[in-house]
């Protein structure tokens, strides 16, 4: 007789819950410990500077969090000396006198140090000071005025029909828009003349114009406005009034019509308009980075084609208005313009440094900007360039970070390198098995290398750039006080993914009272957005969200599966038009393999939590992967990519909007959901339209599915805040540990 797999799994869970009942996980004590984790771990790692600051080519300072209190250290790289930046006791006394209140020398919070004319200039959080280096007298010189910055909304559309006149570099003329057309006049003059005559209300000129360096030519572009799309929500409980407020935001979604821009060239002295053919930049997602050549011979701009499969650098000849693509990048899947694009125009040269994944990894190329031909590939190998840190034009050298160059290291660990424009003299500046953060001296003669891993305490050393040799040991972090709390170091775990070859990396977090004789359900913390990779690589004492959840009686894991970034192009392309994949085939294998190694990890009781794109994945775990996942908490999820922001979703799901969108939708497939689901959403979320969560809930109700819905009044894009965290913990304890959570009154009482 065939047994329904779901019924069999339920019977196994029941029997296991009876067997595990004596282990008493999810108790009041577990909750109280989880609540105390942040305080318990805080300030328990010493000799771990967060920043280093160069004063000149040879000297730098840093603030060290020593066990005895805050230290300000001055280092001279040339003489290899390290000493107190100043007399801490004297400084505290002089600050106390200047501020007329007691300043503790071990708790001074000072920054922005610089030395000018025998004066040490610095500040705290509200005042600026100077100290005479001879008399040591400290004086307050100014207050720090901090303007309250209003929250900048990511989706705000630039107004192309508003703007000030644009003054020419020589100051003789200003260009402005009148009646949708381009006009020129002398500043403070009534006399004006019209340059364009083809602008109108539906296809008007933008005031975002650009003069040539010699003030003889002008680039302006016409705009045909696209569709306006707003999302609306009700703020139920505003602080300043009793009645609710209706709010709205600009919010383009996949498939919406976008603005079309048409660059035009004007020879100002001749009052001549040279139209520019649009065939190279039709179907626009956007035009960016308009700039004139230094010699006034042309202007360039970048074109991102709708669908993100073509990206061009286009040059417009200033004599005749002819347009040509000098860089023409294409991909059968997508071009990661938001995460990997890099362009550097070499001053005084007809050269462009450009990043491309055309050979399967993100690498740098040197282009001839006149011919559009590749002069040479600069970097190469089965590893990606992660970021260009600096370009030394004079010495024709590039400083950059890369990862995946060492077979015996985690392929996500950042390393620093340098290379010449012609691809020669490739130099590894870091090689230690860690995630590196480098700070160069202004002249690049020295650099500070601070490195760590999640399972390796931080270390900072000073090195010489030419030899990469260590000049001085600076600080080595002490974690003894942290370990004394019972803290367990996260473990890095790797295994082959779905293809049996590609390594998948993640971390395992255990509770402080970990007992290998117990059985622990597994909870995965997921974020699978294709724009990056997300498993931490540097040492942290906390991982608060993961550690606090683990304290309740769980093993918590985080994994980067296929479809995320910072590996090969093929690894990344798994996400293409298939966000529901979210690396789940790799994640399930990873957890199963970890459970084989560690039998206390129960791969039959697996939960998952995530926010935003992670919320979509958490919901998708029970919609598309309920053969493995049992419990999910999805916060502010984009449960249907047609409902979310245009730029992020068309980047990975493609354009035009086709059946692939419905195929990845939790809403469309809500009837497939199995397991226990909690949805959390902020009622005024303007990052992911909250209607996405509500539509998922509606589809689940219509499909007869049981679930929990938590709506947070007044909250924006959030994992849930304090209330959501409580609900999430209780949900996992109830459905994975199969015990009733203690009351909140007991947990949170003083």
422-481 pLDDT, tens digit each: 999 999 999 999 999 999 999 999 999 999 999 999 999 999 999 999 999 999 999 999
Which residues are within 8 A (CB) of 18 and not within 5 positions of it... i.e. 6 or more apart?
none
Helix, strand, coil percentages, rounded to 5, for the chain: 20, 35, 45
Is a pLDDT exceeding 80 seen at residue 572? yes
Task: Determine the Cα–Cα distance for residues 397 and 295; give it in Å rounded to an integer.
Answer: 24
Tens-place pLDDT, residues 635-693: 999 999 999 999 999 999 999 999 999 999 999 999 999 999 999 999 999 999 999 99
Cβ proximity of 34 and 40 under 8 Å = no
**Among 598, 583, 718, which residue's Cα sits nearest to residue 652?**
583
Cβ proximity of 555 and 509 under 8 Å = yes
Task: Walk me through the domains of the chain, giving residue ranges and CATH numbers.
Answer: 5-42+490-738 (3.40.50.1820), 52-143 (2.40.10), 154-330 (2.140.10.30)
Instruction: Tell whether the torsion through CA atoms of 372, 375, 379 and 383 is positive or negative.
Output: positive
| Average pLDDT, rounded, for the chain | 94
Residue 655's pLDDT is: 98
DSSP β-ladder status, 81-84 and 111-116: unpaired
Task: Determine the Cα–Cα distance for residues 265 and 223; give it in Å rounded to an integer.
Answer: 15
Grouping H, G, I as helix, E, B as strand and the rest as coil, residue 314 is: strand
Residue 584's pLDDT is: 98
Helices and strands, counts by H and E, the chain: 13, 43
Cβ proximity of 522 and 605 under 8 Å = yes
Residue 531's pLDDT is: 97
Residue 155's pLDDT is: 78
Residue 11's pLDDT is: 37
Tell me how long the chain is: 750
Residue 161's pLDDT is: 79
Task: Determine the Cα–Cα distance for residues 136 and 162; give it in Å rounded to an integer.
Answer: 53
Tens-place pLDDT, residues 298-319: 999 999 999 999 999 999 999 9
Cβ burial of 537 (10 Å; 0-12, 13-18, 19+) is buried
Residue 436 burial (CB count, 10 A)? 20
* Tokens describing residue 203: 């296809």
Give the alpha-carbon dihedral of 280, 284, 287, 293, to 10 degrees: 0
Task: Answer yes or no: pTM beyond 0.85.
Answer: yes
Angle, in degrees to the nearest 10, between helices 613-624 and 584-597: 80
Who wins on pLDDT, 284 or 748?
A: 284
Is a pLDDT exceeding 90 seen at residue 205? yes
* Tokens describing residue 350: 């007809």
Residue 146's pLDDT is: 76
Task: Determine the Cα–Cα distance for residues 26 and 740; give it in Å rounded to an integer.
Answer: 8
Grouping H, G, I as helix, E, B as strand and the rest as coil, residue 36 is: helix
Q: Which residue has the tokens 């650009």?
A: 210
pLDDT band at 2 (very low <50, low <70, confident <90, very high): very low
Could you give the percent of the chain with pLDDT greater than 70?
Answer: 96
Region 220-237: mean pLDDT is 96
Residue 368 bridge partners (DSSP): 351
Residue 556's pLDDT is: 98
Cβ proximity of 547 and 509 under 8 Å = yes
C-alpha distances (whole Å) from 403 to each of 361, 387, 409 are 11, 10, 9
Region 132-150: mean pLDDT is 86
* Tokens describing residue 655: 């354009």
Task: Determine the Cα–Cα distance for residues 115 and 126; give it in Å rounded to an integer.
Answer: 20
Residue 660's pLDDT is: 98
Region 160-182: mean pLDDT is 94
Residue 192 bridge partners (DSSP): 185
Which residues are within 8 A (CB) of 727 and not within 5 positions of it... i.e. 6 or more apart?
678, 680, 708, 710, 720
If residue 289 lies in a helix (H) or strand (E), which one and from where to where?
strand 284-292
Region 50-55: mean pLDDT is 95
Residue 372's pLDDT is: 96
Residue 156's pLDDT is: 76
Residue 379's pLDDT is: 98
Residue 750's pLDDT is: 52
Residue 417's pLDDT is: 98
pLDDT band at 541 (very low <50, low <70, confident <90, very high): low
Task: Determine the Cα–Cα distance for residues 582 and 14; give it in Å rounded to an integer.
Answer: 30
pLDDT band at 542 (very low <50, low <70, confident <90, very high): low
DSSP β-ladder status, 470-476 and 456-464: antiparallel
Residue 16's pLDDT is: 42
Residue 573's pLDDT is: 98
**Among 653, 649, 639, 657, which residue's Cα sits nearest to residue 700?**
639
Task: Determine the Cα–Cα distance for residues 198 and 205; give it in Å rounded to an integer.
Answer: 9
């Amino acid at each position: 007789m065939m047994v329904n797999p779901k019924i069999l799994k339920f019977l196994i869970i029941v029997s296991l819950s009876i067997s595990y009942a004596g282990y008493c996980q999810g108790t009041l004590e577990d909750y109280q410990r989880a609540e105390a984790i942040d305080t318990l771990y805080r300030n328990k790692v010493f000799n771990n500077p967060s920043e280093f600051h160069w004063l000149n080519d040879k000297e730098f300072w840093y603030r060290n969090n020593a066990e005895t209190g805050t230290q300000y250290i001055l280092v001279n790289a040339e003489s290899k000396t390290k000493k107190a930046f100043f007399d801490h006791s004297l400084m505290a006394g002089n600050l106390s006198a200047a501020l007329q209140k007691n300043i503790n020398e071990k708790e001074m919070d000072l920054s922005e140090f610089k030395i000018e004319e025998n004066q040490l200039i610095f500040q705290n959080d509200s005042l600026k000071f100077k100290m005479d280096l001879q008399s040591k007298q400290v004086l307050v010189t100014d207050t720090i005025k901090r303007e309250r910055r209003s929250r900048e909304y990511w989706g705000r559309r630039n107004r192309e029909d508003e703007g000030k006149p644009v003054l020419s570099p020589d100051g003789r003329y200003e260009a402005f828009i009148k009646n949708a057309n381009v006009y020129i006049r002398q500043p403070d003059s009534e006399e004006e003349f019209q340059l364009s005559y083809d602008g109108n209300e539906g296809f008007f000129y933008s005031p975002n114009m650009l003069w040539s360096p010699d003030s003889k030519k002008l680039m302006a572009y016409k705009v045909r406005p696209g569709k306006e799309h707003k999302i609306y929500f009700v703020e139920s409980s505003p602080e300043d009034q009793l009645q609710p407020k209706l709010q709205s935001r600009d919010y383009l979604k996949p498939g919406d019509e976008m603005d079309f821009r048409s660059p035009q060239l004007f020879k100002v002295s001749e009052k001549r308009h040279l139209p520019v053919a649009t065939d190279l930049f039709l179907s626009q997602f956007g035009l960016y980075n308009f700039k004139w050549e230094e010699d006034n011979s042309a202007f360039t701009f970048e074109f991102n084609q709708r669908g993100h499969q073509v990206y061009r650098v286009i040059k417009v000849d200033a004599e005749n208005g002819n347009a040509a693509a000098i860089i023409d990048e294409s991909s059968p899947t997508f071009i990661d313009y938001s995460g990997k694009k890099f362009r550097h125009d070499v001053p005084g040269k007809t050269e462009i440094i450009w990043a491309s994944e055309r050979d399967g990894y993100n690498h740098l190329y040197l282009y001839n900007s006149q011919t559009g031909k590749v002069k040479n590939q600069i970097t190469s190998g089965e590893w990606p360039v992660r970021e260009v840190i600096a370009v030394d034009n004079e010495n024709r050298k590039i400083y950059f970070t890369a990862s995946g160059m060492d077979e015996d290291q985690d392929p996500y660990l950042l390393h620093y390198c340098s290379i010449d424009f012609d691809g020669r003299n490739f130099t590894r500046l870091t090689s230690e098995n860690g995630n590196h953060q480098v700070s160069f001296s202004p002249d690049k003669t020295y650099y500070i290398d601070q490195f760590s891993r999640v399972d390796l305490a931080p270390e900072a050393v000073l090195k010489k750039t030419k030899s990469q040799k260590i000049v001085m040991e600076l600080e080595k972090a002490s974690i003894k006080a942290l370990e004394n709390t019972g803290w367990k170091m996260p473990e890095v775990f790797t295994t082959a993914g779905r293809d049996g070859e590609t390594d998948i990396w993640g971390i395992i977090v255990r509770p402080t009272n970990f007992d290998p004789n117990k059985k622990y359900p597994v909870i995965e913390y997921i974020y699978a957005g294709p724009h990056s990779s997300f498993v931490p690589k540097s040492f942290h004492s906390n991982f608060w969200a993961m550690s606090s959840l683990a304290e309740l009686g769980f093993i918590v894991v985080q994994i980067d599966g296929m479809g995320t970034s910072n590996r090969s192009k093929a690894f990344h392309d798994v996400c293409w038009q298939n966000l529901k994949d979210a690396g789940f085939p790799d994640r399930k294998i990873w957890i199963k393999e970890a459970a084989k190694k560690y039998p206390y990890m129960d791969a039959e009781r697996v939960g998952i939590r995530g926010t935003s794109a992670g919320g979509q994945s958490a919901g998708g775990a029970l919609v598309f992967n309920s053969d493995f996942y049992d419990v999910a908490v999805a916060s502010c999820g984009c449960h249907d990519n047609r409902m979310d922001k245009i730029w992020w979703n068309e980047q990975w799901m493609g354009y035009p909007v086709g059946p692939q969108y419905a195929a990845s939708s939790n809403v469309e497939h809500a009837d497939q959901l199995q397991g226990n689901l909690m949805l959390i959403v902020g009622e005024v979320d303007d990052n992911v339209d909250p209607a996405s969560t509500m539509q998922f809930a509606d589809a689940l109700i219509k499909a007869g599915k049981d679930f929990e819905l938590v709506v947070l009044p007044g909250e924006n894009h959030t994992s849930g805040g304090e209330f959501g965290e409580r609900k999430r913990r209780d949900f996992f304890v109830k459905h994975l540990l199969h015990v009733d959570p203690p009351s909140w009154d007991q947990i949170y009482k003083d």
